[in-house]
Structure 1
Amino acid sequence: MDSAAPTFKIILGSKSKARREIMVEMGYEFTIMTADIDEKAIRKEKPEDLVMTLAEAKADAVISKLQIADKQVNDNEPTLLIAADTVVVYEGMIREKPSGKEEARQYLKDYSGRKASTVSSVLVTNLQTGFRKGEWDRVEIVFDEIPDDTIDKLIEEGAVLHVAGALIIEHPLIKPLVKQVVGTTDSVMGLPKAVTERLIAESL
């Protein structure tokens, strides 16, 4: 970012390691505040509606925390709150984080030799002005066959248990088995860079 750009602070309303890494790659400094909402309590039929509603719920929860903590937002310097959510869509069904190892195993077996999509939302709120805007992004992933022993290793290691649809395409065990990605890897990981950059610019 050039020195002539407006200065602002960013709060990332997410505990996702992948989202943190993407924000760092984009060159932003930020603080982290987690929303701690019951995501399963929010239901929508369309994945696009679900990820947008969840991002809004996360943003509202973080704003409530800030108000309870009575943290003053500096009027000279805008603070942008970035909230996001991702789900996997497989054969029209929405998949969130697996409930346990068996569900994660079934998810991974389903993807073998087939395709799945991710739908990710980004919501940026300017805490100084109240301006809020969000967008969603969809990516399609086509997989080669995923061997059972690869699935066993992924389950044993455990990272797939904590992500939507047990899907981590950047994982060293999965990466060679991804035949095609129609869209961007950062969107699959939970934070589409281009959408995030655009929303930050519009929010300032």
Structure 2
Amino acid sequence: MQSSHRPCNLLCPVAPSATTAPRPHQRPPHLPGTPPQRLLSPPSRLTQTRLLCCKTAMSTSPSSAAAAGNPQPFKLILGSSSVARKNILNEMGFEFQVMTADIDERSIRREDPEELVMVLAEAKADAIMSRMRISDYQKEGDQPTLLITSDIVVVHEGIIREKPSTKEEARQFLKGYSGGHVSTVGGVVVTNLTTGKKLGSLDKAEVYFHDIPEEVIEKLIDEGVVFRVAGGLLLEHPLTLPFVEAVVGSSDSVMGLSKDVANKLIHEALTLFLVPNKA
């Protein structure tokens, strides 16, 4: 399961520690491409012509411009309190403020992980927008304001894994990953508050593990961080990283926000939707 916008590759293969032995299994397969980006709120007829024109002339990506020291020509709101997502946007060079959705994620259920993450990412955007005066963001001459929300789930043996709620559940999750692999499915939604339009896209990855010692699992549980991430999956934690065999996809996707997807959606939210939504 690999995003269609970048080639599939193996990243950060890690040699097993002295306490673990390599397990005989087929190398991680290439993941099939994800469905193309989908439009969450259809454009009006007035914007369709501009959509077609803009697709043929993509300019420098927003994060590339930020990294080059150019002024950020838009305002950005991260709809999440996730430390990992904050770090990812910081690494991309964006300036942003943080707002949280504060929704009951477990009250929103879907059996399909792709549908679930997109519905949750949209629900977070809607919850944040409900507390805003959207008219303040639609004033002529103001910089456009974008809201980025996302969600991620871990899929292990066909079962969706969200944040563990108990120590026993966290222990069950981590023991299941030991010597095996998990998939992550992430959904990202970017809303242009100036036009009222939304763009959404999926990104997927897989993580392969060496055997994880029980004492490491217990330390992770005692530390408590596992209860704040989907599936209790901590890719770059110092206790976990030595037992990561390979990542198929991007590590930032596993951590909750694909840089490539975020960059693409931010760019298109700025360039594709030039006419405010009058619906």
TM-score range, shorter chain: over 0.9
- Structure number with the higher strand fraction is 1
One-letter amino acid of the counterpart of residue 220, structure 2: L
For the residues of structure 2 that align with 1:52 and 1:95, how far apart are their CA atoms?
A: 16
One-letter amino acid of the counterpart of residue 128, structure 1: T
For the residues of structure 1 that align with 2:105 and 2:90, how far apart are their CA atoms?
A: 26
Are 1:73 and 2:102 counterparts?
Answer: no
Deviation string for 1:86-123 (max 9, x for gaps)?
00000000010001111001100000000101111110
- Partner in structure 2 of residue 58 of structure 1: 124
What is the deviation of 1:73?
1.7
Deviation string for 1:48-79 (max 9, x for gaps)?
00000000000000001113xx7822632000
SS at match of 2:122: helix
For the residues of structure 2 that align with 1:150 and 1:119, how far apart are their CA atoms?
A: 25
Are 1:48 and 2:123 counterparts?
Answer: no
- Partner in structure 1 of residue 260 of structure 2: 194
- Partner in structure 1 of residue 33 of structure 2: none
Structure 1 residues 11, 102: closer, same or farther in 2, change over 3 A? same
- Partner in structure 2 of residue 97 of structure 1: 163
- Partner in structure 1 of residue 180 of structure 2: 114
SS at match of 1:155: helix
Unaligned segments of structure 1, at least 5 residues? none
What is the deviation of 1:161?
1.1
- Partner in structure 2 of residue 171 of structure 1: 237
One-letter amino acid of the counterpart of residue 109, structure 1: K
What is the deviation of 1:8?
0.4
Unaligned segments of structure 2, at least 5 residues? 1-64, 271-279
For the residues of structure 1 that align with 2:224 and 2:111, how far apart are their CA atoms?
A: 29
Count of aligned positions: 202
- The two structures have a TM-score, normalised by structure 2, of 0.70
What is the deviation of 1:3?
6.7
Contact 2:73 2:143 in 1 (8 A): yes
Contact 2:72 2:95 in 1 (8 A): no
One-letter amino acid of the counterpart of residue 53, structure 1: V
One-letter amino acid of the counterpart of residue 42, structure 1: I
Are 1:12 and 2:88 counterparts?
Answer: no
Structure 1 residues 130, 103: closer, same or farther in 2, change over 3 A? same
* 2:212 pairs with one of 146, 152, 170: 146
Contact 2:179 2:211 in 1 (8 A): yes
What is the deviation of 1:40?
0.5
Structure 1 residues 150, 71: closer, same or farther in 2, change over 3 A? farther
Contact 2:81 2:98 in 1 (8 A): yes
For the residues of structure 1 that align with 2:170 and 2:250, how far apart are their CA atoms?
A: 23
Identity of aligned residues (%): 57
* 4+ long deviations beyond 2 Å: 2-6
- Residues 22-41 of structure 1: pairs in structure 2 closer than 5 A: 22-41=88-107
Ranked by relative contact order (alpha carbons within 8 Å, sequence separation 6 or more), the top structure is 2
- Partner in structure 2 of residue 131 of structure 1: 197
- The two structures have a TM-score, normalised by structure 1, of 0.95
